[in-house]
Every structure is written in C-alpha cells, then in structure tokens.
C-alpha cells in the first residue's frame, strides 16, 4: 500500500490543463477543418469531386469553387491531392463541431470554425450533462475516441459531463455509427426513454451523414432523418480534443 501511495505521489497531477491551459499537442498526421482558398477552378475541372469517395463536395455557383460538407467528409485528403490549383487544403483546426447542420459546409470565405453553443444545453446542462452513448452500427473508432475522454489525462467528469448506463438517467444521447436498420428501433426506444428536455449529439461522419457507408440500403445515412440532432461533431473518427471542444462549446463552458 505504501508503495502504491509513493508511486501516485511521484506521478503528480496527470490531467491536462485544457481549456484553462493550451490544448494537448496533436499528432503530426492530424487532419483538421478543410480550407477552401479564394480562386477560380479551372474550367470544367471536377477532379476534387471525382476523387471524393463519399460525395462530400459540390461546386458553388456563387464562389465558383468547391463546397465541402465536413459532416459527410471522412478527412482522407483525396480532394487536396487531386486539386491541381491548390484551392483545397486541410488545416490543423480541431474545432469542427457545430450546432446548425448548415455550418458544416465549408467554402471560400467560411469562418475558421462554426458555432456550437446551444441555448437549451446552456440553460439546463451547463454544470451537469449525463449522456447515454449509443453505437448505432459504428466500427468502434468513434466509440474508442469517445471513451478516451473518461481517462485520467482527459477527465471529462471534471466538467460535470458523464456517460451513464441507463437512458432514464441521461440528459441526452451521444450517437455514433450510420444507424443500421438493425439498430434503428433500439435507437428510437432509447431516445424515447430519455426524459425531457433532452438533446442528441451525432459524433463522426457515419452518425452525421453515413460516412463510408453512405447510401447503403441497410443503413440510414446517419441519425438526422430519425431523431432531431442538436450537435454535430464531424471526423472519421473525430479526435478526442474535437469531441471535448464540441461538448464544452455546446454547453457554454468555452467560447
């Protein structure tokens, strides 16, 4: 026992200072929010559209450039590599979460990040938010990065945010996966069991828009057509910092 106490003292405080301090260092291969530079695409060039495996890009008539749906994007960077004019590149911006779905669309002139603050969440869940996590057919990548937040280094509980076992003890659902047909009814019943007022958070490109499984007949292209979504956290999978930042901005704990 004394050895355990001594080791714990030597370890010191392991929880990161964020958001009171700087965010943790991101890995060198981290891919953040895409940036679309001002400029005109070459006439008839649709190489970025053709390169996107999930059909997340279309051309804007207003800016004469690409529009990227980050909710559908899987951040593979194929469009960046395909663009001969260098109009598209991916930044290291981790603040990807937004409350309005339309704010997930990035084009030339888009802000650095979209708004995530939600007035119902700020009013009722600012100091305590209990979430029931539902894996609706996910591959376990988004689930794993969500679970990381409960570890010593991240300590999600210090913000009053915790995952609970029963939807009847929850304030809302955190959903991952494209919502397979086999999970649809279970998801609807879980949502019905959460008391009002309740919120829904879609984590990952699968939960937002189907991800790599988009338009497959055995899934529903995410949760939006089944339940009302209050917060979208894109990524494939989103980094734990992206998830934490989204949750904290959602409940008004950070700007």
Residue 198 domain boundaries: 119-250
In a domain, residue 206? The reply is: yes
In a domain, residue 102? The reply is: no
pLDDT digit string (tens) for 154-213? 999 999 999 999 999 999 999 999 999 999 999 999 999 999 999 999 999 999 999 999
Predicted confidence band at 3 (pLDDT cuts at 50, 70, 90)? confident
**CATH code for the domain of 166:** 3.40.50.12280
Task: Give the separation between CA 112 and CA 158, rounded to whole angstroms.
Answer: 28
The pLDDT of residue 44 is: 66
Count of CB atoms situated within 10 Å of the CB of 146: 26
**Is-above-0.95 flag for pTM?**
no
Task: Give the separation between CA 129 and CA 251, rounded to whole angstroms.
Answer: 9
Number of domains in the chain: 1
pLDDT digit string (tens) for 205-240? 999 999 999 999 999 999 999 999 999 999 999 999
């Amino acid at each position: 026992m004394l050895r355990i106490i001594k080791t714990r003292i030597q370890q010191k405080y392991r929880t990161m200072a964020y958001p009171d301090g700087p965010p943790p260092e991101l890995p060198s291969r981290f891919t953040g929010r895409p940036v679309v530079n001002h400029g005109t695409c070459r006439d008839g060039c649709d190489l970025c559209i053709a390169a996107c495996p999930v059909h997340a890009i279309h051309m804007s008539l207003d800016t004469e450039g690409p529009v990227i749906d980050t909710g559908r994007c899987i951040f593979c960077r194929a469009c960046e590599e395909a663009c001969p004019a260098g109009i598209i590149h991916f930044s290291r911006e981790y603040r990807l979460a937004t409350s309005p779905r339309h704010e997930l669309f990035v084009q030339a002139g888009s802000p650095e990040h979209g708004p995530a603050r939600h007035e119902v969440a700020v009013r009722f869940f600012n100091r305590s938010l209990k979430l029931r996590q539902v894996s609706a057919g996910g591959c376990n990548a988004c689930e794993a990065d969500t679970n990381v937040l409960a570890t010593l280094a991240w300590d999600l509980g210090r913000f009053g945010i915790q995952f609970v076992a029963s939807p009847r003890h929850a304030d809302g659902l955190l959903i991952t996966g494209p919502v397979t047909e086999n999970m649809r009814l279970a998801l609807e019943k879980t949502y019905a069991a959460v008391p009002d007022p309740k919120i829904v958070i879609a984590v990952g490109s699968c939960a937002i828009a189907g991800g790599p499984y988009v338009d497959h007949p055995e899934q529903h292209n995410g949760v939006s057509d089944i339940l009302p979504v209050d917060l979208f956290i894109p990524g494939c999978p989103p980094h734990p910092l992206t998830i934490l930042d989204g949750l904290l901005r959602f409940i008004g704990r950070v700007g």
